[in-house]
Amino acid sequence: MYSLYHPDYTPQRWQIFVVFLVVCWMDASVVMFGQRILPKLANLACCVCVGGVFITIMVCAIMPATTGQGYASNSFVWTEWNNQTGYTSDGFVFLAGMLNGAFAIGTPDGVCHLCEEIPEPKKNIPKGIAAQLITGFITTLCFYIAILYSITSFTDVTSTPIVSLPLAAVYQQATRSRAGTTGLLFIFLLDTVITVPGAYLTAGRMLWALARDQATPFSATLAHVHPTYRNPFAAQLACGCIVTLLGCIYIASAAAFGAFVGAFAIFTTLSYLAAFLPHLLTRRRHLRPGPFWMPARVAYPVLGVASAYVVVFNVVYCFPFALPATSANMNYSALMVGGITVLLTAGYVWKRTRGYVGPTLKLDAEDGVAVAAVGAVGKGGKGA
């Protein structure tokens, strides 16, 4: 937004890091100290995001007609193909570009990490996943159509000097106004800030659960539930510190930081594969049917296609983003995934030599599971 009014401004990585640091610890503090307001904040975030998308779609759909610049052609939106990656295979470029759609809808596992704090999780967790995917699909499709019709110069979008944010150039072409572009970017910023606490919440709960099962260093500390704030305070604090350290990497090397970010999609989908491939191979013998149990004729094709999708696309996502590949634009995801996998394996072996046996609690997902789990930790306080 600043660069809209200062075209000669060249952002420095340390400046972006400072902004990130403020947002990081502001949202981390909300999660650590604001346990009672988190449900209200989640509802507010949902309304702000959906409302912001609606406003953005309406502005991008209406403004080009009022500015006199008009809209992009139907062929540009629906049939034209633009391959600027350097790859000769359009089919491969199409596959590599599918990751954008996945990021737009989001990771469906987020709500799963709150199973122990949600009433009737067997019913509500699948409903939450379905709500996310359906809402994400509808809003994303409408958003993409609106902004594509707003583009009158695709070259200006791909070569925008506005802090390397093509979306800002699209908004400029839609509104033909710096004030209008600033307003739409502010919605974008507000959506980001208000939803980051959800990411911290799930990350902290995951680290706490691993520590509760003694699968992390300093397990006793990270598994502790604060008696006053009624949350895994130490685990949340550790997440904030780790994220800050990753941000410091960005200051030193954008390529190294990009490797961490690029590995996210691969690690996430591999975790899905580790969850459902065993059920496919064992024909779901070790699963207890729940309220949304798929019949075999549906489940096995779904599991098979999903497993194949993860295997194939994780290979695709390891290719360089564009050709010719250089040290600056190289995709280091494969190196990152391989290195971290080796470290995790070594850590697991080291833990096993010291008596680690894995999770020992086998609890049904009922309302009292959080209290029972905290009681098993020992000095955990009352409830997560």
- The answer on pLDDT for 41 being more than 90 is no
Query: What is the distance between the alpha carbons of residues 267 and 350, in angstroms, rounded to a whole number?
Result: 22
User: Which band of pLDDT confidence, cut at 50, 70 and 90, is reported for residue 163?
Assistant: low
CB-count burial class (<10 Å; 0-12, 13-18, 19+) for 244: middle
Question: What's the confidence (pLDDT) of residue 332?
Answer: 86
- The answer on pLDDT for 359 being more than 60 is yes
Question: What's the confidence (pLDDT) of residue 164?
Answer: 61
What are the start-end ranges of the H helices in 68-153?
A: 74-78, 90-105, 121-150
The angle that helices 90-105 and 254-281 make with each other, rounded to 10 degrees, is 90
pLDDT (tens digit, 9 = 90+) per residue, 178-212? Answer: 999 999 999 989 988 888 888 888 899 999 988 98
pLDDT (tens digit, 9 = 90+) per residue, 312-340? Answer: 999 998 898 888 988 777 888 888 899 99
Is the previous residue joined to 324 through a cis bond, with omega within 30 degrees of 0?
Answer: yes
- N- to C-terminal Cα separation, the chain: 39
Question: What's the confidence (pLDDT) of residue 149?
Answer: 96
Which amino acid, residue 23? Answer: V
User: Which band of pLDDT confidence, cut at 50, 70 and 90, is reported for residue 382?
Assistant: very low
User: Which band of pLDDT confidence, cut at 50, 70 and 90, is reported for residue 369?
Assistant: very low
- Range from 24-38, 61-75, 167-181 carrying the lowest mean pLDDT: 24-38
Query: What is the distance between the alpha carbons of residues 267 and 103, in angstroms, rounded to a whole number?
Result: 14
CA 336 to chain centre: 18
Q: Which two tokens stand for residue 17?
A: 């890091």
* DSSP symbol at 170: H
Q: Provide mean pLDDT across the span 130-145.
A: 90
- The answer on pLDDT for 383 being more than 50 is no
Query: What is the distance between the alpha carbons of residues 356 and 91, in angstroms, rounded to a whole number?
Result: 46
Instruction: Report the candidate in 53, 64, 74, 11 with the shortest Cα–Cα distance to residue 172.
Output: 64
Do residues 180 and 168 lie in contact, with contact meaning Cβ atoms separated by under 8 Å? no
Phi, psi of 108 (to 5 degrees): -75, -5
The more confidently predicted of residues 369 and 355 is: 355
pLDDT (tens digit, 9 = 90+) per residue, 202-257? Answer: 899 999 988 988 888 898 999 999 998 888 999 999 999 999 998 898 888 887 88
Question: What's the confidence (pLDDT) of residue 373?
Answer: 44
pLDDT (tens digit, 9 = 90+) per residue, 343-353? Answer: 989 988 888 88
Query: What is the distance between the alpha carbons of residues 45 and 54, in angstroms, rounded to a whole number?
Result: 14
Is the previous residue joined to 197 through a cis bond, with omega within 30 degrees of 0?
Answer: no
> What is the full DSSP assignment across 329-369?
T---HHHHHHHHHHHHHHHHHHHHTTT---------S-TTH
User: Which band of pLDDT confidence, cut at 50, 70 and 90, is reported for residue 161?
Assistant: low
The domains of the chain are located at 1-72+107-245, 253-359
- The answer on pLDDT for 276 being more than 90 is no
> For the CA atoms of the chain, what is the radius of gyration?
23
Q: Provide mean pLDDT across the span 123-146.
A: 91
- Range from 48-52, 54-58, 288-292, 373-377 carrying the lowest mean pLDDT: 373-377
Per cent of the chain over pLDDT 90 is 37
CA 116 to chain centre: 21
Phi, psi of 210 (to 5 degrees): -65, -40
